[in-house]
Chain A
């Protein structure tokens, strides 16, 4: 079994229900997100467009975070999930330097690395990840990508515009996007103004975790 994720960006409407469900399910501390939806505005009035991109850990098949972790705190589960053992983590931040997707953060409460685990605890109990359940339009698909008959596999096969983030990094991500363009998936294709956001004015997070 190889669990994977897919987001249909043509369906996502940026409601952030998945973000909140994830935060609530996993007790993610304030100012930190395991999963977040990025808004990107493009164009010139009146031809403007807003793109929504949910972003989480890619649970790579060839995960650089797992390889660099000096104490195996980051490890593969049999179902393909890249899990983290917070009791073992020493907080060296090597994984944060290795992950090309910026998916790992330092938890300010435990001073250890943390990230999306595809809700491994829920999956163990036969449930779907919290973000999948919360999505009102079914934009999030989750399932076994090694099984050709699974819904996610059939969705990938049916959509020729299925993409992953930064394939050139050779990480073999198991998180797919349908309908995305460069402004959705390439962080360098957009301008990131500091000083303001749509709903808040936090543009730079003071380094958390003790120093």
Chain B
């Protein structure tokens, strides 16, 4: 009897057991990288949401003009800090610029994010110098840099050949929606006492739309049109039913379902106190969802 063909054909096949191997390396990109993803969502999202509100409510433009560079540079700073801390040789970070490898999205991203941070710093300078005209002229180049800063991570994840669920084309949309969620949430929190009812309603629409879109994409990727490879199925199993399922579903409830409900309830009842809670919850849930998505593909053996 050819035993190997027998075990390959029957369910018993999975009874093949690794009896000696090197230790499993585990999670390499951990919560430092989650902080990078989360901080970047806020750092660019606040720009997009702020720009939208500035154009829609020009009477209160001064508020948004102040918030954009201050919050933007703070959270892009957090992103860069955790990125540097995650490097095993952080004092060689300057190699990015003296030995650039332009096929690498990590390298391209480092240029883009530093350009965005530089533009935010110039906006901050122009704000203090009260040079409104120059500030306005710089907004659109900064918007382009913010856009590429938002999506470069999707390109970076797509280059990670070993982690298939990061390579989906929807990842770009997820990054943009995360920026929409985070930007509107931060503005709702910061403008809790200074924004009028209309402004809060507009921001809640952005928050509600981004949350709904992002949630729909997650559910589609996991249930409606899941990845089909064996590797991706294992990862999806970890997310939905394995060690990470509690955190994932908590993220979905805290960061997506509850904020969506609160936005609807506040809209129906014309009471806006719940929007602050919705904003806070969406920021917490976003961090958790990003963390699960980052860690899950690192939990399967590659060899």
Contacts and interface: CB of A to CB of B under 8 A. Distances in A.
Interface of A: 31-33, 36-44, 47, 49-51, 55, 64, 67-73, 88-94, 96-103, 105-106, 111-112, 165, 168-169, 171, 181-183, 186-194, 197-199, 202-207, 209-211
Given A92-B86, A94-B106, A72 B303 contact: no
Given A70-B110, A101-B303, A190 B88 contact: no
Interface string B167-179: 0000000000000
B133 interface: no
Interface string B226-240: 000111001000000
Contact of B106 (A92, A165, A207): A92
Given A97-B162, A199-B20, A102 B4 contact: no
26 contacts: A36-B21, A36-B22, A39-B18, A40-B19, A42-B13, A70-B100, A70-B101, A70-B106, A71-B101, A72-B99, A89-B92, A92-B86, A94-B160, A99-B162, A102-B302, A111-B89, A112-B88, A169-B161, A181-B8, A186-B230, A191-B17, A192-B24, A197-B19, A197-B21, A203-B23, A207-B27
Contacts of A70: 95-96, 100-101, 104, 106-107, 110
Chain B: interface size category: 35 or more
Given A39-B18, A39-B21, A189-B16, 11 more contacts: A39-B20, A42-B15, A42-B17, A44-B12, A68-B106, A90-B90, A91-B90, A94-B104, A187-B303, A191-B17, A203-B23
B25 A205 contact: yes
Nearest to B106: A70
Contact of B88 (A99, A193, A209): A209
B23 A67 contact: no
B92 A96 contact: no
Contacts of B87: 90-92
Contacts of A41: 16-17, 19
B93 interface: yes
B88 A72 contact: no
B22 to A, nearest CB: 5
A205 B96 CA distance: 29
Contacts, number: 210
B193 interface: no
B3 interface: yes
A105 B22 CA distance: 12
B300 interface: yes
A106 B86 CA distance: 13
A69 B160 contact: no
Interface in B81-122: 85-90, 92-93, 95-96, 99-101, 103-107, 110
